Structure 1
């Protein structure tokens, strides 16, 4: 297998060749390690060294032997140190066991070759940290790959890997997918297991999955890893048929709500992001769907206040649990300035503040659910901008208090956090391009447990406006 042949294959295509014996597992591994070693010096997407050999994985899974990476946050593998993008964990704390999703990745046959970078504790829309330095976007190495799953996204976009683990508490799958020209599905709350470490990470807003280059990879991987584990809080119905079957099935005529005003009320929207979304709307109309300009009625200020409570309380708890376990005092030597400010704010919150935030989240979920009685999906930009320059979202900026940091992040990403609060599935697709050649992500949101609808519609858009031929040029 040549490097060029490897780069052309998505996970599904590579898995087919591996299963037929036309490509050996060692060939796939060697191609992936050579590709990672070639691009990572430019991207700084890995945390620590690439693994010498893949982590143990099933030889008979649907993706047996397909190279893979896991993000250095939440999901973890037995014996592999986790750093979570923070100096608080030093060189990393070896994990005692696999998380449930990691075990499912192994059973799917994915061959994990390393850990990918995240900003400190995942609270940023870029992937830059004092602990690991900046991760760079392969489309333009002066730009951010988005966050917080930017390490995985950078390697997949650079075609060093066909697929990589990612997670999403406010847009952290969809934002890097948009910035790097990938498919990024945030599944419904509960579609993938957060256990055993968590019941409802980030007050239920955190969800685990992946970034891919093709819709069929997203569908096939979701088939392989979705489902509850004993003790999980949510038990979603299985899809009526495999998600992979939706890719070729085509979607029925849908009622599409087009909305280009940020749900969070933050920031202006780059006209190029609006135009990419409107172009997608025209494509959908051409495919037989009905598109209307409409959006759910939300109290943006109350939403932001509640989301700030969710994020800062989660950070405060995480910092205090880690610091207590390690016998470390959190401070400027172990935490970045904005992280420290958010954790300090979280410690001031009362139980009543959390219940008040939950009331806002409840009202938000019900308003969006009522809106979906009239519209099958919502079409928006993924981000307010195509991407951001490195250094713009500086988590170590001492001038920002907790609210200032929250507002700064979501001024670039005002469309994604809503679906974390509602639990609805949402997908970012690389449907636009700037004059510089950067990708622009367009988001589609479906009702709760509506992944089948999203995948069918995304596959229609992939056929109508294919993006496979667009690829970044990384400096040599």
Structure 2
């Protein structure tokens, strides 16, 4: 198998080739390693050399033999170093055990080959850090990949792996999906497990899943990892049938809300707005009722509803057994640590009350509508350096407000818990990807996947590849062996 052949296949297609013996899992892994090295040399999206050997996994499973990557967002996999993009965590510190979702990745047969970059503390919509430098977008090396799952997004978009782990605390799966032209699903709160070390990531605002190139990969992977872990405090109602069974199913007639005015009070790029409106028009053609509407929340409510999550982000550093000097942190990260250190119990409870109020407002909105359509980002992928994480004058609130201008439509659903998906439905006049976000009522990933599959059929995106895709110029020149 050659790189140009491998890089255009999604995870399900690769699994079918392996299962039928047309190519071996070892051949797929070997070509994936070459593709990853080639892509990373351009994009700087890996935190360390590739794992050798790959992380242990089941030899059977729905994705047996499919290459995969994990994000440097937490102590995820036993024995693997993690840093969350900061110099404050020494390189010798490793995860003590697998998280439940990592155990499920292994059980699904995914072959984890490496770890991808994230911004410091994973609290930026730009994957740029003092520890790892700038991660570059395969659509334009001068543009960012979004954050915080930017390393995963870059390598999936470049064709180096068909899908990769991501986590989403304020849009951190959906925003890189939009910036890199991918499918990015944030599940319902509680759909994927947070244990065994926690009942809720980020006070219930952070979610583990993945970035994919196709809707069917997202559906099959959700089938593999969804559901509560043993002893989990919360359990989301299970779907009536597997998510993969929603592909090709016709949704009932829906009441669809369209919102393209920025919820931050900022501007939305006209091309982004037009791509979103075009998606809504297509929903009308599908037979759904579309009107302009959105949750009745203010920018201040959204930002304040997210602020207390910063305490959860800073908690591992505050509980560290050693003093951490300011010099090892970027300025904004240090201010997050300081604010978390000074936070009182009453202030934290007030934050939970704000989250509860927002959750109820959004829940009420979805009693009137079955689906909400918005842009994912307000603008096409931002140039590097747009967000200064080392600005000594910046405050934590000011930082949240600045990234909220870029990603005004995603944070709210981290607070309120509804499932949301970003689909690569548009392109700017300069050829940059534009994502459109679909949001469904609590627990309705089935509806999102039905609609996403319809969009993928009507507005196919898989043939659109970035200039810095690993298959570019590879046909006929790859030294890999051909599959028989």
TM-score by length of 2: 0.95
Partner residue of 1:298? 297
Question: How far apart, CA to CA, are the structure 1 residues paired with 2:265 and 2:203?
Answer: 22
Question: How far apart, CA to CA, are the structure 1 residues paired with 2:232 and 2:272?
Answer: 38
SS in structure 2 of the partner of residue 211 of structure 1: strand
Question: How far apart, CA to CA, are the structure 1 residues paired with 2:67 and 2:35?
Answer: 11
1:408 deviates by 1.2
Partner residue of 2:90? 90
Mapped contact 2:169–2:207 kept (Cα < 8 A)? yes
SS in structure 1 of the partner of residue 389 of structure 2: coil
Mapped contact 1:266–1:407 kept (Cα < 8 A)? no
Partner residue of 1:402? 396
Partner residue of 1:125? 125
Could you tell me which of 305, 317, 320 is aligned with 1:319?
Answer: 317
Partner residue of 2:482? none
Please identify, of 164-173 and 386-395, the stretch whose mean Cα deviation from structure 2 is larger.
386-395
Partner residue of 1:286? 285
Could you tell me which of 441, 446, 465 is aligned with 1:447?
Answer: 441
Could you tell me which of 405, 412, 415 is aligned with 2:409?
Answer: 415
1:92 deviates by 4.5
Question: How far apart, CA to CA, are the structure 2 residues paired with 1:471 and 1:369?
Answer: 38
Matches within 5 A, 1:36-435: 36-74=36-74, 76-263=76-263, 265-308=264-307, 310-321=308-319, 324-325=320-321, 327-332=322-327, 334-435=328-429
Please identify, of 414-423 and 231-240, the stretch whose mean Cα deviation from structure 2 is larger.
231-240
Question: How far apart, CA to CA, are the structure 2 residues paired with 1:331 and 1:17?
Answer: 51
Question: How far apart, CA to CA, are the structure 1 residues paired with 2:455 and 2:167?
Answer: 24
1:474 deviates by 1.3
Aligned length: 470
1:266 deviates by 4.5
Partner residue of 2:476? none
1:457 deviates by 0.6
Please identify, of 363-372 and 133-142, the stretch whose mean Cα deviation from structure 2 is larger.
363-372
SS in structure 1 of the partner of residue 106 of structure 2: helix
Question: How far apart, CA to CA, are the structure 2 residues paired with 1:279 and 1:417?
Answer: 23
Q: Provide, for residues 156-176 of structure 1, a one-character-per-residue CA deviation record: whole Å limited to 9, x for no partner.
A: 000000000000000000000
Mapped contact 1:119–1:126 kept (Cα < 8 A)? yes
Question: How far apart, CA to CA, are the structure 2 residues paired with 1:304 and 1:186?
Answer: 19
Give runs of ≥4 in structure 1 deviating > 4 Å. none
Mapped contact 1:319–1:330 kept (Cα < 8 A)? no
Q: Provide, for residues 141-189 of structure 1, a one-character-per-residue CA deviation record: whole Å limited to 9, x for no partner.
A: 1000000000000000000000000000000000000000000000011
1:399 deviates by 2.2
Question: How far apart, CA to CA, are the structure 2 residues paired with 1:455 and 1:92?
Answer: 40
Mapped contact 2:138–2:157 kept (Cα < 8 A)? yes
SS in structure 1 of the partner of residue 406 of structure 2: coil
Mapped contact 1:32–1:67 kept (Cα < 8 A)? yes
Question: How far apart, CA to CA, are the structure 1 residues paired with 2:225 and 2:367?
Answer: 29
Question: How far apart, CA to CA, are the structure 2 residues paired with 1:437 and 1:108?
Answer: 35
Inter-CA distance 75–234: structure 2 relative to 1 (3 Å threshold): farther
Question: How far apart, CA to CA, are the structure 1 residues paired with 2:294 and 2:125?
Answer: 24
Mapped contact 2:305–2:415 kept (Cα < 8 A)? no
Partner residue of 2:451? 457
What RMSD, in angstroms, separates the aligned Cα atoms of the two structures?
1.3
Mapped contact 1:183–1:211 kept (Cα < 8 A)? yes
1:102 deviates by 0.5
Question: How far apart, CA to CA, are the structure 2 residues paired with 1:203 and 1:19?
Answer: 41
SS in structure 2 of the partner of residue 164 of structure 1: strand
Please identify, of 149-158 and 286-295, the stretch whose mean Cα deviation from structure 2 is larger.
286-295
Q: Provide, for residues 237-270 of structure 1, a one-character-per-residue CA deviation record: whole Å limited to 9, x for no partner.
A: 221011001112132221110011233x242111
**What stretches of structure 1 of length at least 5 have no aligned partner?**
none
Question: How far apart, CA to CA, are the structure 1 residues paired with 2:201 and 2:242?
Answer: 27
1:75 deviates by 5.3
**What stretches of structure 2 of length at least 5 have no aligned partner?**
473-484
Could you tell me which of 466, 469, 473 is aligned with 2:463?
Answer: 469
